[in-house]
């Protein structure tokens, strides 16, 4: 049984792009809890190990979801690049002490994280 990684992402871009991303996440949520690659867009077909589970939205534009074990940063980056938007992704998997923030802004990707090794220093 996998540990669940909690993810919160906010995409920043044109209204049209954000609406398209919202539609994408709604489609994935409707698929249920099993990844069915034939229903995912081609650019996400190789992300089944880090599929988006338990997706929810709020009025502030935050999308919250879970992944197995680790965040699916590559999938979020692929979405941002396709729709030409920026993002901030916060993630945490408490059981394995994984915490971080990935950002993509103006074509520059950063990922700042702590893992179990980092906690050994304290």
92 or 52: whose pLDDT is higher?
Answer: 92
- Range 46-60 average pLDDT: 78
The pTM assigned to this predicted structure is 0.86
DSSP string for residues in 13-33: S-HHHHHHHHHHHHHHHHTTT
* SS3 assignment, position 4: strand
> Among positive and negative, which fits the CA dihedral 112, 43, 32, 20?
positive
pLDDT of residue 38: 45
Q: Which domain holds residue 64?
A: 4-119
Instruction: Kindly report, residue by residue over 40-51, the tens digit of the pLDDT.
Output: 667 776 765 667
- Domain of 34, CATH number, reads 3.30.70.1270
- Total domains, the chain: 1
* SS3 assignment, position 51: coil
Note whether 89 and 9 are within 8 A (CB). yes
């Amino acid at each position: 049984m996998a540990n669940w990684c909690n993810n919160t992402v906010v995409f920043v871009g044109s209204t049209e792009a954000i609406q398209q991303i919202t539609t994408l996440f709604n489609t994935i949520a409707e698929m249920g809890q099993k990844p069915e690659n034939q229903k995912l867009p081609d650019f996400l077909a190789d992300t089944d190990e880090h599929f988006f589970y338990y997706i929810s939205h709020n009025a502030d534009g935050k999308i919250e979801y879970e992944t197995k074990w680790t965040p699916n940063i590559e999938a979020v980056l692929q979405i941002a690049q396709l729709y030409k938007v920026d993002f901030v992704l916060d993630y945490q998997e408490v059981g394995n002490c994984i915490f971080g923030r990935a950002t993509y802004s103006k074509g520059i990707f950063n990922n700042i994280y702590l893992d179990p090794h980092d906690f050994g220093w304290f």
